[in-house]
Structure 1
């Protein structure tokens, strides 16, 4: 192991990346601290990397079109002395992920300590200025609490982990609150919405600005074959699977009442249908549409963000077998909001069209919101900021 560490260190040194762990990110030969990324007033962004011996550096960012012609998806950096740099054009108001390509090997930016895990990769991130990204930043406002809890699921015969956001002053008060159950996509877990989705920052800021009612947000792990996020369970540091064996099995939908029971036993929440909402992205959107129809007297607010539909051909599970009948029951029991968001370039766009045709056929009223872009966290954060202000207005 020590031999491998030495070899890796020598290789990084040959590229001129020796200062990865240097205090203050100042190379001994430099007179001033270099900043990367540097977000400018017009939302252009400059990246800098110290790599005097490298032959080719590029920035690889999620704002670039990786599905275009060869060479797209990354932008070449220019060498200036010992440093390489690249400045973007003006970017939209958002949170962005990126990495640095050094002679064909991809690294995180050694000058940027801010990182996020997405499925089985970690990326650097930064926020630009502007109205939308403002919801994702931390300000001097009252803050809620983000906590992880373990709950027993009798249906699954497991103890599982979920994340709960409680609003500012929850611990000091006695009042009861409505609840949003917020579900992640196939590559996610109970850490996805708090990190990539910026749920804590969005709720803090929207509550402080009186755009949303104070509420709890419950973010469970939608992969029932796992009990918790990678590295947080007795399985240890296992390889992260994108498509776990439980996907599309119906087990998440069947066991969801266990999550509601845990929250309503352990938190001061209102227990009426009018005080419960459920929403999810991609696979979590599939979970949402099936859970809300399977439990038609449970949720008054439903949100589908780039929702998948049926994830496999498991037609025998009652969650799927009786779905259209359950939809009719959901319609007849009534609800306050059925909200659907979809990007124009989303690979599930056609799936969304077909699902809305089914809702039309069943005379299910819904609100449709179409955005630019595709199957991205940029859209899902946007949808959350659009969906939240519509919840619990009369509660």
Structure 2
């Protein structure tokens, strides 16, 4: 064998070795299916942890438990124990089939909460990262990517003169927007405390829901704008000039008027850069929790801006220390807003939501004033399961 041939053979051997090493790195994980969804919608969770003494699973597929929180009693995911097999694999099978829904879960191994190494599907909610899985059927089919025309999801930066910074928003444009010349209505969809411009697109499944509702003819094609309601932030954690840091719910400039005062900056940007219907009849605003609070106060502060308003598990009254003029003269501002006869004022709340009483008192006031609204009461509490349902119910009512 010549010298050159020996070199060529050596190179091939090295490449094969490196390829084998790369394959090991790629495929060296546990060969376990978890979660495994059976045909009857029972689900098995598995974890290989031969040295563990106790393994549990926690998630919103389990019966909730009432726990204390800074806001009073609220719902928290239940916990169930896994059983250890002789091969070191722990298993838990749901006692009954699960109803259609997008579920989240985590493992607890000897007291340490962790994700499932055999499930690559993860979602971040504030500072928590959990695995997810989907049981199809019913409304949950709207949360799936189905074989229908798809819209476009983009992240855009806009300048806010009011906040004196560039900020990021997430925008959904409906199927066919790019090839069209028509003008579209705009739905501004706001997140809750600790969330950001990623929350509704990830946890809320907004793009999937709108794609499916539009394809079924149940919702009008619309642009959906998902803002960052934390007025001190440029963008979601890891997406701003601050780079990587631990997300937190304790953020400044959330419910003290800055978001409401600066909101016209967002509307101006969207109307300038997208083919929109630039009047009240072509705009809707809704949000969950803190986003519902923002929607309430933005819509009354600018009564000629939105014809459709949605309050999803909304906080209602500002903190007593919030001194913004946005929150002054609330009765007078609501009177002006309702005198202009908004086409839809929609309120949704769960029966065990810690904000239920505040919403009940707000509705009582609306009733006493004779202000018309649509009310939807659901099971459960302050949870994404409800907010996805509210979106699927609210969106078809818009721009009709």
* TM-score, scaled relative to structure 1: 0.90
Match of 2:4 in 1: none
CA contact (8 A) 1:247 1:311 kept: no
Change (3 A) 1:342 1:55: same
1:129–1:356 Cα change, 3 Å: same
The 1:72–1:196 alpha-carbon spacing in structure 2 relative to 1, beyond 3 Å, is closer
Residue 107 in 1 paired to residue 114 in 2? yes
Offset from partner CA, 1:110-164 (integer Å, 9 cap, x none): 1100000000011000011211110000011111011000001111111111000
The residue that corresponds to 2:278 in the other structure is 271
Aligned to 1:74: 79
C-alpha distance after superposition, 1:348-393 (max 9, x if no partner): 0001101111212222100000000000000000000000110111
Q: Which moved more, 1:373-382 or 1:49-58?
A: 49-58
Measured in 1, the distance between the counterparts of 2:226 and 2:62 equals 30
Unaligned runs of 5+ in 1: 1-20, 28-32
Name the residue aligned to 1:41.
Answer: 39
Given the alignment of the two structures, is residue 86 of structure 1 paired with residue 92 of structure 2, yes or no?
yes
SS class of match (1:286):
helix
Matches within 5 A, 1:159-238: 159-238=166-245
Query: Equivalent residue for 2:332?
Result: 325
Contact 2:256–2:322 under 8 Å retained in 1: no
8 A contact 1:314–1:320 mirrored in 2: no
Contact 2:127 2:247 in 1 (8 A): yes
Q: How many matched pairs?
A: 367
1:226-265 alignment to 2 at 5 Å?
226-265=233-272
Query: Deviation string for 1:230-249 (max 9, x for gaps)?
Result: 01111122232202121221
Q: 1:72 to 1:360 in 2, by over 3 A?
A: closer
C-alpha separation in 1, matches of 2:382 and 2:28: 35
Note the residue ranges of structure 2 that are not aligned, 5 or more in a row.
1-23, 68-75
Once the two structures are TM-superposed, the CA of residue 179 in structure 1 deviates from its matched residue by: 0.5
Of structures 1 and 2, the larger Rg is shown by: 2
8 Å CA contact 2:60–2:77 kept in 1: the answer is no
Say if 1:381 and 1:224 are closer, same or farther in 2 by CA, change over 3 A.
Answer: same
Q: SS in structure 1 opposite 2:242? A: coil
2:50 equivalent in structure 1 = 52
- Counterpart position of 2:17: none
The RMSD of aligned alpha carbons is: 1.7
Moved more, 51-60 or 164-173: 51-60
| Contact persistence 2:299–2:305 (CA under 8 A) | yes
Matches within 5 A, 1:90-169: 90-169=97-176
CA 326–114 in structure 1, closer or farther in 2 if over 3 Å, else same: same
